[in-house]
Structure 1
Amino acid sequence: MGPAIQHFDWASTSVGALSTWSQSLLSYTRMMLTSKQPICFFWGPELLMFFNEAYRPMLGNRAATALGQPFATVWPDVWADVLPLTRSALSGTGVRLEEMPLTMTRRGFEEETFWTFAYTPLWDDDGSIAGLINTPVDATSAVKDREALAKAVADAETMLEEQRHSNRQRMILQRELAHRMKNTLAIVQAIVSQTMKHSQDMETATKRISGRLTALSSAQDLLTETSWSAADIVHVVDSALRPHVDASERVSVTGPHAEISAQQALGISLALHELATNAIKYGALSVPDGRIAIEWLVGSDRTLRFEWRESGGPAVAAGDRKGFGSRLTERIVPAYFSGKAGVHFDPAGVRYLLEGVLQTDDEARGAGL
């Protein structure tokens, strides 16, 4: 930049020929050219630009034409941003800014840049302010690196929080699995022990146990599809009846969709298995013309009225249905609904009525079910 300044046609500018320069201007120029710090200064009424080799890369594509040009001409894209600072320096008050954001077009496209710089007044030999000097530091990389680091820290914290959440969920799932297993095993234990107790021989007990465990397994398959979070009573009833009904017109099902807890879904499945099994043995499904109507109502307060009605079958006496099946349908299942249930032997056929309250899985857990 030394030769470039020496051979520039200063005579055609307001600065005048090199031979006419003041001692102050010559001193500023020598100081700038010998410094390894990027420096530029602006001199004269038009604030013509001088810069050293270290400053040259900051100009980008403007480096070839910037020397001796007015400040506003060299930097039109940031002129409005720095004009108040320029006026302050020219009035005798130096300014310094840290990481000032400036949008520059130095290489044919806009860049978001950040600069730490100071504008300092320059005095001429007569004591008047003739220009200002700028000692800039391009802080763009530092700012971008800091922003990237902050984002990385935030991303890491997000990942850690997700991991913590995942760990919490895993622990919840482990507790939930233990809870499910405990309940399931309790049901299995009750089915096996009570069926054995109320069966006359091993063959009968084996058949009854197998049927009840199959019903339990089918209900659990349905719940697995919904991740044990909830079940729709319509789907529960359909799944429980499917293995027992030989023709769809023999069973009518009427009732609204409603979410019930996993434990209640198991209860209804087991109750329907018992009712259907007995209907096949003794009731409406034991004859071709027998019919079954299943209907339930759900109140605005989630109260449930669930009814099974048989018709067209042989007359059935109360003594035909004693044992664990009765205890299951009339005592165990209604407990899941915090309600009551009973089997009634009406003249038209067997009727089973269950009344209680529907629960979500969260409500069931809160109740300890």
Structure 2
Amino acid sequence: MTMQVDPGADASPTGTSGLGMPGVAERIRRHDWSATPLGARETWPQSLRTTLDIMLGSGHAMCLAWGPDRTFLYNDAYAPFLGARHPSALGMGFAAVWPEIWGEIGPLVDRVFAGETTTFHAMPLVMTRNGFAEDTWWDFSYSPVRDERGAVAGLLNVAADATPRVLAERERDRALADQRASQDRLAALVSASSDSLYTMSPDWQEMRSLEGRGFITDTTTPSVRWMDVYLFPEDRDEVRRAIERAIERVEPFELEHRVRRPDGSEGWTHSRAVPILGDDGEIVEWFGLAADVTARRQATEALRESESFMRGVLSSSTDCIKVLDLDARLVFMSEGGQEVMEVSDFNDVVGCPWPDFWQEAGNLAARQAIAEAQTGRSATFQGYADTMKGNRRYWDVQVSPILGRDGRPERILSVSRDVSALKASEEARAVLVQEMAHRMKNTLAMVQAVVTQTLRQAASMEAGRLAVSQRLTALGRAQDILTRSDFSEADVGDVVAAAIDPHRVAEDRITWAGPAFGLTAQQALGLSLAIHELATNAAKYGALANETGRVAMSWDVADGAFSFLWTETGGPPVGTPESRGFGSKLIERIVASYFNGEGRIDFDPAGIRFRLTGAAAAAPEPD
């Protein structure tokens, strides 16, 4: 269709662009051309009008430069090429429309106005049509337009934006280059790899090739017996199931399994094969790699056995073995440790600050030990910490750094041993030592008093020596009783029996009776001396001095009071002595003081009687 542009008609059927805005033809009609080198439209030559009709009616992007000033006109298809310069470019000079690329296209324009046609394919041009530089590529053809006299009066440009095509071609070229490089790398990788290479038929019934590379036997010709050659009978069903699953899902086959090596020994491989698909989407072949993982598998098995051994060691150990992070938070506790710490669920304590488990001075010691481990040094301490059930325990603890590959601490090891029994034993031993010192001091004081008073009142040195020996022997017998009872207390019956035993001349002449009652160590020693003194006196002057006399001892505990009675009968007549010796003083005063009571000797003519009374509760030991 040919349109004539005249002063009173639209240049296009609608006079608008495809966006509802005035089209280029409408803009040409409205433009004040009298202010341009072309002058008023009614003065335009027919050659210009005809060329303009052809351009405006074309669906191809076209522009026209006319006259010596090369005034610029264009059609709707060309307008997008101008970017922000549309529509102001209409009526401007060609060079003013494209100043940034005039250096490239200006010489071409000159050649066209000299009568030459120029054509370019994917010519690169950097444009600033939208206010910023753009890399663009163009297909265009510049043709001369002649006026009525046959002279070149204008230039007609038929252009196409080749930028999308050029960019697509470049992207395609890059993709192809990447693909070639990838293929080259894959080929190099396959060549450099020690993995075995194999190909299989679509259904895996036939092994088409296998390059074992020393790991397994090569297959140079297709084989349907490949399972018999390479797999152990007990493994074949597992391999078949993995193959069937891969074929059904059209996905890679991947499995770690045993293989028979060239020498018949057992090896392990990690095998992975991918399906190669045809144009119809069906599997045409499988291509796979089989890596030798025998050493890794053996190492894993050895590690598993080692870990099992270590778990057994840790679970059987009664030590509480823990691993802490560098902030002293609990991350691991051995099974044996959980048992001794009475932890029912480790999740209840994981992440807890370990020093907070310790009490009193142990808390400070724990924090100091952590500080040492954080700097790479080991530390030990002892302290109290409760179990998770609140039971108090005393622990011997060693804290050590766990070093990383760089030689710096990365975790902390704590090994705690329950030494509560040892601690209790040490405390009991300390108490025993103090008690022994106390007992020894009291015993020595008693011995000193006995010896001093005995010698002071002895008629001769020999008599004094004999008396001291006998009294110390009596103390020794009482001491034997106390030793058997850990120096805690002695039964009054045992004390009486041991004290009187050296004086028993006949079974029926000395008797004793009374309930079981525990005496303190001091009371036992005192009562033993009292019985010795009474028995010695009886043997010299009293009931045991003849063949018919008798001695009866009895004691009782009633209403919180203890009483002891010595009674002699059948001996020679008894008279009141003119003076009292140390023996009487020992019996009546010293021994009575051990019972917080009193002692009294009665010189009855029928026989001596001694009564000792005191509190049933144990008297406090004298310092």
Same fold by TM-score greater than 0.5: yes
**d(CA) in 2 for partners of 1:164 and 1:325?**
46
Q: Given the alignment of the two structures, is residue 245 of structure 1 paired with residue 504 of structure 2, yes or no? A: yes
Contact 2:242 2:253 in 1 (8 A): no
Q: Given the alignment of the two structures, is residue 296 of structure 1 paired with residue 565 of structure 2, yes or no? A: no
Tell me which of 464, 475, 478 is aligned to 1:205: 464
What secondary structure, in the 3-state scheme, does the structure 2 residue paired with 1:308 have? Answer: strand
Contact 2:592 2:614 in 1 (8 A): yes
Aligned residue number for residue 325 of structure 1: 583
Question: Residue 364 of structure 1: CA displacement?
Answer: 3.1
Question: Residue 261 of structure 1: CA displacement?
Answer: 0.9
Q: Given the alignment of the two structures, is residue 364 of structure 1 paired with residue 620 of structure 2, yes or no? A: yes
Tell me which of 349, 352, 356 is aligned to 2:610: 352
**d(CA) in 2 for partners of 1:338 and 1:150?**
54
Change (3 A) 1:217 1:184: same
- Flag the structure with higher strand content: 2
User: Which has the greater radius of gyration?
Assistant: 2
**d(CA) in 1 for partners of 2:508 and 2:578?**
26
Q: Given the alignment of the two structures, is residue 148 of structure 1 paired with residue 342 of structure 2, yes or no? A: no
Question: Residue 160 of structure 1: CA displacement?
Answer: 2.4
Contact 2:597 2:615 in 1 (8 A): yes
**d(CA) in 2 for partners of 1:226 and 1:319?**
39
Contact 1:260 1:359 in 2 (8 A): no
What is the 5 A alignment of 1:266-285? 266-285=525-544
Write the letter of the residue equivalent to 1:351.
Answer: R
Percent identity between the two aligned chains: 41
Superposed CA deviations along residues 155-181 of structure 1, whole A, max 9, x for unmatched, are 983632222212211110110010011
**RMSD of aligned residue pairs (Cα, Å):** 3.1
Q: Given the alignment of the two structures, is residue 166 of structure 1 paired with residue 425 of structure 2, yes or no? A: yes
**d(CA) in 1 for partners of 2:255 and 2:340?**
40
What secondary structure, in the 3-state scheme, does the structure 2 residue paired with 1:243 have? Answer: helix
**d(CA) in 1 for partners of 2:245 and 2:418?**
62
What is the 5 A alignment of 1:119-134? none
Contact 1:6 1:18 in 2 (8 A): no
- Flag the structure with higher helix content: 1
Question: Residue 10 of structure 1: CA displacement?
Answer: 8.2
What secondary structure, in the 3-state scheme, does the structure 1 residue paired with 2:479 have? Answer: helix
Aligned residue number for residue 574 of structure 2: 316
What secondary structure, in the 3-state scheme, does the structure 2 residue paired with 1:364 have? Answer: coil
Question: Residue 9 of structure 1: CA displacement?
Answer: 6.6
Superposed CA deviations along residues 336-357 of structure 1, whole A, max 9, x for unmatched, are 1000001001132100000002
Superposed CA deviations along residues 227-282 of structure 1, whole A, max 9, x for unmatched, are 21221111111111100110120012121111111111111100000000000011
Q: Which moved more, 1:334-343 or 1:253-262?
A: 253-262
Structure scoring higher RCO (CA < 8 A, sep ≥ 6) equals: 1
Write the letter of the residue equivalent to 2:464.
Answer: A
Contact 1:278 1:321 in 2 (8 A): no
What is the 5 A alignment of 1:210-249? 210-249=469-508
Superposed CA deviations along residues 22-51 of structure 1, whole A, max 9, x for unmatched, are xxxx4xx67999xx9xxxxxxxxxxxxxxx
Contact 2:246 2:253 in 1 (8 A): no
Q: Given the alignment of the two structures, is residue 265 of structure 1 paired with residue 524 of structure 2, yes or no? A: yes
Question: Residue 315 of structure 1: CA displacement?
Answer: 1.6
Contact 2:394 2:423 in 1 (8 A): no
Superposed CA deviations along residues 181-223 of structure 1, whole A, max 9, x for unmatched, are 1011001101110001111211111111011001001111111
Q: How many residues align?
A: 245
Aligned residue number for residue 22 of structure 1: none
What secondary structure, in the 3-state scheme, does the structure 2 residue paired with 1:248 have? Answer: coil
Change (3 A) 1:207 1:3: closer
**d(CA) in 2 for partners of 1:175 and 1:308?**
35
**d(CA) in 2 for partners of 1:156 and 1:349?**
62
What secondary structure, in the 3-state scheme, does the structure 1 residue paired with 2:568 have? Answer: strand
Query: Taking structure 1 as the reference length, what is the TM-score of the superposition?
Result: 0.60
**d(CA) in 1 for partners of 2:492 and 2:469?**
24
What secondary structure, in the 3-state scheme, does the structure 2 residue paired with 1:318 have? Answer: coil
Write the letter of the residue equivalent to 2:249.
Answer: L
What secondary structure, in the 3-state scheme, does the structure 1 residue paired with 2:584 have? Answer: helix
Write the letter of the residue equivalent to 1:294.
Answer: M
Which ranges in structure 1 are unaligned for 5 or more consecutive residues?
12-16, 20-25, 37-142
Which ranges in structure 2 are unaligned for 5 or more consecutive residues?
1-234, 257-269, 271-330, 342-386, 388-392, 396-416
Superposed CA deviations along residues 261-309 of structure 1, whole A, max 9, x for unmatched, are 11111111000000000000110000111011111111142x1111101
Question: Residue 152 of structure 1: CA displacement?
Answer: 6.5
Aligned residue number for residue 18 of structure 1: 249
**d(CA) in 2 for partners of 1:3 and 1:323?**
111
Write the letter of the residue equivalent to 2:563.
Answer: R
Contact 1:261 1:359 in 2 (8 A): no
